[in-house]
Amino acid sequence: MRLRELLKYNNIVIQCHDNPDADALSSGYALHRYFEKMGKSSRFIYRGRNKITKSNLLIMMDRLKIPVSYAPDFNEVPELLVTVDCQYGQKNVTLTEAENVAVIDHHRAGEELPALSEVRSNIGSCATVVWDMVRDEGVVIDDDILLSTALYYGLYTDTNRLSEISHPLDRDMRDRLITNKSIITEMCNSGISLDELKITGKAILNNEYHEENRYLLIRAEWCDPNILGVISDLALETVGVDICVAYYVSSGEVKFSVRSCIKEVHANDLAAFLAEGIGGGGGHITKAGGTIRPELLLKLNGGEEEDLEDIANYELKSRLEEYFSLYKVIYARETTLDTSGMKKYEKKQQRLGCAELSRLFPLGTEVMIRTLEGDINLRVEKDIFIMIGIEGEVYPIKREKLESSYTYSEEPFDRTFEYDPSVTDAVSGERKSVLKYARSVLSTGSVRIFAKPLTEHIKLFTAWDEERYYSGEPGDYIVVREDDPHDIYVINKRLFDGLYREVL
pLDDT digit string (tens) for 405-454?
889 887 888 888 766 788 888 888 787 888 889 999 988 767 789 999 99
pLDDT value of position 92: 82
pLDDT value of position 110: 66
CB atoms within 10 A of CB 58: 14
Q: What is the pLDDT of residues 154-204, one digit of tens each?
A: 998 887 677 566 676 887 898 889 999 999 999 988 877 888 889 999 999
Helix boundaries (H) for 223-356: 225-236, 267-275, 294-301, 308-326
Q: What is the pLDDT of residues 278-322, one digit of tens each?
A: 887 776 678 888 888 888 898 888 777 778 989 999 999 999 999
Regarding pTM above 0.75, the answer is: no
Taking each helix axis from N to C terminus, what angle separates 225-236 and 194-205, rounded to the nearest 10 degrees? 50
**CA 204, CA 219: separation in Å to the nearest integer?**
8
In angstroms, the Cα distances linking 135 to 33, 120, 129, 149, 432 are: 12, 16, 10, 16, 21
Q: What is the mean pLDDT of residues 77-96?
A: 93
Return all residues near 423 (Cβ < 8 A) that are at least 6 apart.
Answer: 357, 360, 361, 367, 368, 369, 370, 386, 431, 432, 434
pLDDT value of position 351: 84
Q: What is the pLDDT of residues 349-398, one digit of tens each?
A: 788 899 999 999 999 999 888 765 556 788 999 999 999 987 788 888 89
**Domain 3-188: CATH class, spelled out:** alpha beta
**Domain extent listing, the chain:** 3-188, 194-323, 335-502
Q: Residues 232, 243: contact at Cβ < 8 Å? A: no
Q: What is the pLDDT of residues 37-49, one digit of tens each?
A: 999 999 999 999 8
User: The CATH number of 194-323 is which of 3.40.50.720, 3.10.310.30, 3.30.360.10, 3.90.550.10?
Assistant: 3.10.310.30
**CA 268, CA 442: separation in Å to the nearest integer?**
37
- DSSP class of residue 172 equals H
Please name which of 225, 247, 267, 241 lies closest in space to residue 311, comparing C-alpha atoms.
247
Q: What is the mean pLDDT of residues 212-224?
A: 92
First vs last C-alpha separation in the chain = 52
